[in-house]
Structure 1
Amino acid sequence: MHLQFTLGDQTATTLDVEVTHFIIAGWAGRDKDAVLHHIRELEALGVPAPGAVPLFYRVATNQLSQQQQLEVVGNETSGEAEPFVFFHRGEWWVSLTSDHTDRYLETFSVALSKQACIKPVARTAWRMVEVIEHWDSLVLTSWIKEHDEWVVYQQGTLASLLTPQELLARYLEGAEAREGMAMSCGTLGAIGGIRPASEFRMSLHDPVLKRTLEHAYQTGALPVVA
């Protein structure tokens, strides 16, 4: 899947990236208690507990999209803001994605629920080397629109998640990263519980370099027919 990013460094540089291998890292919290909380949060919705922590889901690259108007089946889907890292021209880059998920299908199969929905990706990226030293201070936030008002849905620093280096080391198991590899690096718990929303905003803020990655999208519901 072809993605295009501008660099968040006041330059006009554009990256044309062909993602050839996409992984979603699930249950990627650094704090075991927080991971257990998220597992219980999903179990309350009928989602089975994972067989391993963290767990890596392969998802088709054609599910990645930088569009802002998307379509899903039914009204039981919702987003999850996550750091998005990709390997391009010999180095790692950082952007932002939403692991938009079908919550009804998730009660039967987490892997299938992740495959069923398009994964929105921001259009801006940073060099990993520019943020890795203060990675834990980056602030991830998402909002959903409820009753015509934006409410904070997720918020916290990346200190609560395993670093991309840790996740990639576990996934690659000694193999080398290759051009076009991308990983969605885990999410934060939902404030007020996981719930469907058709309008979603997300940001990754760097308080050290004073810049922000942002993306917003809407989903239109296709009818469920049988």
Structure 2
Amino acid sequence: MQLRFTTDNADAAVLDVEVKELVIAGWVGRDRAAVLHHIRELEALGVPAPGAVPLFYRVATNQLSQQIRLEVVGEETSGEAEPFVFFHRGEYWVSLISDHTDRHLETFSVALSKQACIKPVAGHAWRLSEVKAHWDRLELRAWIKTNGDWITYQQGALSALLTPMDLLNRYFTDRQVEEGFAMSCGTLSAIGGIRPSSEFGMALHDPLLNRTLEHTYITGSLPVIA
């Protein structure tokens, strides 16, 4: 899948990236006790427990999209803001992605629910090397529109999650990273619980360099026909 990113760098103002391998990292909280507690909560709702923590889901690259308007099947899907790291021309870059997921299908198979929905991606990126040293200070936030008003849906520092460097080291245990690899690096809990919304906004803010990655998208619901 071909993606295009603008950057703040004069030597790479525009990146045309062909993503050849997409991985979604799940269960990436640093507090293992909290992760296990969340697993038990989801099990009570019918969501199968992961086979490992963290767990890496492979997803088709054609599920990536930088479009603003998307379509989903049914009324039980929702977004999750996550850092998005990709390898391009010999270095890692970071952007922003929503792991939009079918919540009904998730009760049968988390892996299939990841595959069922398009993954919206922001159109701007930073060099990972520019934020690596202060990664934990980056702030992730998401909003959903409810009754015409934007309300905060997710909010917190990335210190709550495993770093992308840790995740990459865990994933690449027997091979080297290749051009076009991309990983969605986990998310924060939803404030007030996971729930659907047709409009989703997300941002990753760097307080040290005073800049923000942002993306907003709208989903239209297709009917479920049996």
Normalised-by-shorter TM-score class: over 0.9
Residue in structure 2 matched with residue 192 of structure 1 by the alignment: 192
CA deviation string 1:56-106 (max 9, x = no partner): 000000000000100000000000000000000000000000000000000
RMSD: 1.3
How many Å separate the matches in 1 of 2:161 and 2:202? 17
Higher mean C-alpha displacement, 201-210 vs 141-150: 141-150
Q: Residues 12, 162 of structure 1: CA spacing in aligned structure 2 closer, same or farther, 3 A cutoff?
A: closer
Alpha carbons 1:8, 1:211 under 8 Å: kept: no
CA distance in 2 between partners of 1:88 and 1:9 (Å): 14
Unmatched 5+ stretches in structure 1? none
* Cα distance in 1, alignment partners of residues 182 and 117 from structure 2: 17
Runs of 4+ residues deviating >3 angstroms: 8-12
Deviation at 1:156, TM superposition (A): 0.5
Q: Secondary structure at the match of 1:124?
A: coil
**In the alignment, structure 1 residue 215 sits paired with structure 2 residue 215:** yes
SS at match of 1:122: coil
Identical amino acids, percent of aligned pairs: 73
User: Partner residue of 1:119?
Assistant: 119
Aligned to 1:19: 19
Q: Kindly tell me: are residues 110 and 85 of structure 1, through their superposed partners in 2, closer, same or farther at Cα, counting changes over 3 Å?
A: same
2-side partners of 1:11 and 1:37: how far apart? 46
- Counterpart Cα distance in 1 of 2:190 and 2:37: 11
Which residue number corresponds to residue 133 of structure 1? Answer: 133
TM-score, with normalisation over the residues of structure 2?
A: 0.97
Q: Distance in 2 between matches of 1:37 and 1:9?
A: 42
Aligned to 1:162: 162
Contact 1:140 1:205 in 2 (8 A): yes
Q: Aligned AA for 1:50?
A: P
Q: Any idea what SS the aligned residue of 2:136 has? A: helix
Matches within 5 A, 1:67-78: 67-78=67-78
Whether 1:35 and 2:35 are equivalent positions in the alignment is yes
Give ranges in structure 2 of 5+ residues lacking alignment.
none
